[in-house]
Amino acid sequence: MSQSSQIFPWQRALWQGLIQRLHEDRLPHALLLSGPQGTGKESLARLFARAVLCENSGNNSLPRDDLPCGTCRSCLLDQAGSHPDHHWVGLLDSKKIIGVDQIREIGTSLSMKAHYSGYKVVVITPAEQMNLQAANSLLKTLEEPPSRSLLILVASHMTALPATLRSRCQRITCALPPQDAAVSWLEAQLTPGHDAGLLLALAGGAPRVALQMAQEGRVSQRLEVLDGLERLLRNQESAVTLAASWLKLELKEALYWMHSGVIDMIRLKSAAHPPRLVNPDMRERLQAIAAQMELKTLYYQLDKIGEASRLAMGQSNAQMLLEDVLIRWNERCSGRM
């Protein structure tokens, strides 16, 4: 992406607010960028970190849109991924957590003097994936922050972050953009043949998630999930074999589509003409399933899927999690519980 395109249209007000803090030299020691997945939080954090480190920030050398200059020593080092004062902490390889060693390492780096006499910036994402030891280690840094340092935490699930961490950060909410703006942006990114409105609905209004769905062909995977739930309801397949077949979708993907289907069933069960569905093109199929289930049963299923989704963020057995959700679905639908 070019520098100018890294600020998404719905982020411009947030960006100007952050840049104003930078120019007025009133940055806090820690920012928390929170909001739904797919709103561009990581992109915003990455670009602001670069702006903080830019040697031309705060003077007339910056472009009119207040983006980092892209030509100074600091910007060039950052673009190459070798800036000694910019640290990016995320999930390593296939791990599901950010470990304490990663946090201790950046704590050590922050305690040292900046290489270029400016700020030291650390971005932690997804911050809610820190384990308890890592969170406690970070808390020590937040309680006694080194001078001229900035920590930027990026989180999609605020409740998974300890309140002690949240209270020590200034929160910036990255909300979902208005639908018209999101559809307009998405249509400009998609190749012909895609339905931007449907993709946005499937992504819960998050434009970057919608774009990723289109690029990875993930929309077809929800058909596998719905087909499986119907077979399970008709006793044409066992929960164990269905769970095994869903593993190729990845755990979070299977749970995401199951969650979206149950949400729509609840809406269809609660109102004859619900104002919005996640899967508007599957209304009739979902309505047929919902007609066979009580509303309280659907809410129970939604709770179980939500619980499984939370467990999936940790070191959980994917097969067992899916089996548990599907066995309970089968039992509830069959009236055995």
Report how far residue 213's alpha carbon sits from residue 31's, in angstroms, rounded to the nearest whole number.
29
Report how far residue 13's alpha carbon sits from residue 175's, in angstroms, rounded to the nearest whole number.
12
pLDDT at 113 over 60: yes
pLDDT at 220 over 50: yes
> How close are the terminal C-alpha atoms of the chain, in Å?
53
- pLDDT for the residue numbered 182: 94
| Contact (Cβ atoms closer than 8 angstroms) between residue 148 and residue 29 | no
* Mean pLDDT for the stretch of residues 204-215: 92
Quickly count: other Cβ atoms within 10 Å of residue 271's Cβ. Answer: 9
What is the helix (H) or strand (E) element at residue 22, kind and residue range?
helix 12-23
Task: Please name the residue ranges forming H helices in 161-272.
Answer: 163-166, 179-189, 196-202, 207-216, 221-233, 239-246, 251-270
| Contact (Cβ atoms closer than 8 angstroms) between residue 334 and residue 284 | no
pLDDT at 63 over 60: no
- pLDDT for the residue numbered 125: 96
- pLDDT for the residue numbered 5: 41
Q: What is the mean pLDDT of the chain?
A: 88
∠ CA 197-203-207 to the nearest 5 degrees?
A: 70
pLDDT at 2 over 70: no
pLDDT band at 88 (very low <50, low <70, confident <90, very high): very high
Q: pTM (2 decimals)?
A: 0.80
Q: Which residue has the higher pLDDT, 286 or 332?
A: 286
Report how far residue 51's alpha carbon sits from residue 58's, in angstroms, rounded to the nearest whole number.
10
- pLDDT for the residue numbered 133: 95
Q: What percent of the chain has pLDDT over 70?
A: 93
Q: For the segment 226-240, what is each residue's pLDDT rounded down to a tens digit?
A: 999 889 888 899 999
* Mean pLDDT for the stretch of residues 25-44: 94
